[in-house]
Amino acid sequence: MFEAACTAKELARNELPGTTIEVIDSYTATPAEGMVALAAARSAAEGKNLPEVIVAAEKIRDKVNAVIFLDTIRHAYRSGRIPKVASQIGSALNIKPIMTVSGVVHFAGVARNRKQGIERVLKMMRDKVGDNPVHAAVTHAYALDEAEKLKERVASEFNCVELWLSEFSPVMGYACGTGTVGVAFYPEG
């Protein structure tokens, strides 16, 4: 996506002479990416100049996290994240992967069931933010009920400055599969 944005910037140079366009790589996806964009938009709305807007976006980019719990390991194979044999063994054992997104997608662990997976996601979030106020977003791929439950847990267990709910994009839904839920977050300050 970053390279596509850079290409668009070059094309726009001809169409919009005199317009300054900067492309920032968020190094993330899901609502974490939106948090970076929102930081830039909020900074611009405050009347900051372009270099200050870039600094605001980069500040959030450097501390935002995304943790995703997949309902099945099949989609991790389909998106090229794991070898076919690992997918077959994982599916036979009903292993559900937990991934983090920071620059690249990282395999962070597995769970045997949804309850265990959600607990691990929340623990990973707790380990990163502790008792600090947090900006958070719960996301899902065709799992609205599960996402709403996760959002309630996040609201009750963390000191949320803001908390929203979002759906995965079609591309993320394809890569992660139906039933995927996750949380994107960064500590205040």
Q: What integer best gives the mean pLDDT of the chain?
A: 87
In this predicted structure, what is the pLDDT of residue 109? 85
In this predicted structure, what is the pLDDT of residue 155? 98
In this predicted structure, what is the pLDDT of residue 65? 94
pLDDT at 174 over 90: no
CA of residue 53 relative to chain centroid, distance:
21
pTM, 2 dp = 0.84
pLDDT at 77 over 60: no
Radius of gyration over every alpha carbon of the chain, rounded to an integer in angstroms: 18
User: Distance between CA atoms of 76 and 174, rounded to whole angstroms?
Assistant: 10
pLDDT at 83 over 80: no
Q: How many CA atoms lie within 13 A of 139 on its CB side?
A: 27
User: Distance between CA atoms of 72 and 77, rounded to whole angstroms?
Assistant: 10
Q: What is the CATH number of domain 65-187?
A: 3.30.1180.10
In this predicted structure, what is the pLDDT of residue 94? 67
User: Distance between CA atoms of 90 and 21, rounded to whole angstroms?
Assistant: 45
**CB neighbour list of residue 187: distance below 8 Å, 6 or more residues apart:** 63, 128, 129, 130, 132, 133, 134, 135
Mean pLDDT across 85-93 = 58
pLDDT at 177 over 70: no
CB 98 within 8 A of CB 66: no
**CB neighbour list of residue 176: distance below 8 Å, 6 or more residues apart:** 68, 70, 75, 79, 99, 141, 168
**Top-confidence residue, 59 or 81:** 59
Mean pLDDT across 93-112 = 80
User: Distance between CA atoms of 77 and 74, rounded to whole angstroms?
Assistant: 5
Mean pLDDT across 93-106 = 78
Q: Among the ranges 68-72, 141-145, 146-150, which has the highest mean pLDDT value?
A: 146-150
Mean pLDDT across 167-184 = 76
For the chain, give every domain's residue range: 2-61, 65-187
CB 102 within 8 A of CB 28: yes
Q: For residue 30, with 0-12 CB atoms within 10 Å meaning exposed, 13-18 middle and 19 or more buried, which class applies?
A: buried
In this predicted structure, what is the pLDDT of residue 145? 96
Mean pLDDT across 85-112 = 74
Mean pLDDT across 39-68 = 96
